[in-house]
Amino acid sequence: MPVEPTLQGPIVDERTVTFRLDDPDRALRSVRLYQEVRVPGDLLGFRHDGTGWVLAIDRPEVDRMEYLLEVTAADGSKEMWLDPSNPARVAGAFGDKSVLELPGYVAPGWLDRPGSPGRRRELTIAPRSVPGEIPVALWSPDGLGDRTPAPLLVVHDGPEYDELAGLTAYLSSLITTGDLPPVRAALLGPDHRDERYSADGAYTRALCLAVLPRLRTEVATTSTVGVGASLGALAMLHAQRQNAGCLDALFLQSGSFFHPRHDAHERRFERYQRVVRSVDAVLRADGHPAPVPTVMTCGTLEENLANNRIMARALAAQGYDVTLREVRDVHSYTAWRDALDPWLTGLLREVARRDEPARQAQR
């Protein structure tokens, strides 16, 4: 096996990133880089220089890079490894990865300004239109009573958004500093995710006719903001399109708005055709009776970027006040975390300003 490495990590210069895995006895048959920054497959294999495995790639057009090493042992067995020379790790939906923060990357400032953990309570909602229950963690900042009106974020993949993107930590930090008004968050669990979030009509009815009304009985709510990433973003847009008035604003990150021209590789997904039909219905529509403020974010090297650009243009043509922000990253919770401020911050400020007359009237 490789010897104990020197913890220095990949070497970065203006043009290249060089990875190294020590293996003086050549215990490994081969090493490849597993990445999502669009390095061509024929450039991912390491070469052995006598003391270890080395790979130099062109510096990718991102500010941070998550990766793993695919190693093949002498017996032909394969494993995915974290880079033993790089102590930096990042958690994700499919486990930890090594991470390289390139020169110029700046982590969100709110990470160093923690706020109060706030209050949360667990709910289970059993709609008629879908089997089973929808678990919800309802979060409120300290000092905001249940009967005090405030905006409500309704978040698909809510527990993961909170754990991996720090959603309630972000809210608490900016509420504490006064950069955000008090808001609440309903973190919806992703049970049966691929089925429910793939433009499923039954789930949309459950969300709009059971989940949202229940939440509004639990806490006094002014505007409701739908939040989601990937398929979760698609499901939020589908709900808003199918039930005018159920959501008052949208924050959609890296939406899986599959389009045959750009996303044929997704055909293996069981609900691909249903997603395409839903997206096509939006793109072909002449308009919508209740367009809402919408902020979208997407990574500059994501496969979803093309379909997000198409969707943003279509929504704008139909009367939505829509903004698409492209960030120098890929499809990950850390990328979505890093885009919360200022893009979700700005949307929530606008929602709060719009809500102020109604909030005053409810007091």
Lowest mean pLDDT, pick from 109-123, 171-185, 201-215: 109-123
The structure's pTM equals: 0.94
Render 149-183 in DSSP notation, one character per residue.
-EEEEEETTHHHHHHHH-HHHHHHHHHHTTSS---
Report the distance separating Cα 20 and Cα 31, nearest Å. Answer: 10
What letter represents residue 199's amino acid?
A: A
The CATH superfamily label for domain 109-362 reads Alpha/Beta hydrolase fold, catalytic domain (3.40.50.1820)
| Domain ranges across the chain | 11-101, 109-362
**pLDDT of 4 higher than 50:** no
Does the structure show a pLDDT above 50 at 95? yes
Distance CA 359, CA 363 (A): 7
Quote the pLDDT of residue 5: 47
Strands 294-299 and 249-253, how do they pair? parallel
| 109-362 shares the fold of 11-101 | no
Rounded distance, CA 301 to CA 79, Å? 26
Buried b (16+ CB within 10 A) or exposed e, 279-311: beebbeeeeeeebbbbbbbbbebbbbbebbbbb
Q: Report d(CA 299, CA 329) in Å as an integer.
A: 5
CATH of domain 11-101: 2.60.40.10
Q: Which two tokens stand for residue 270?
A: 């069981």
The first and second tokens of residue 74, run together, are 């002498």
- Which pLDDT tens digit goes with each residue over 182-227? 999 999 998 889 999 999 999 999 999 999 999 999 999 999 999 9
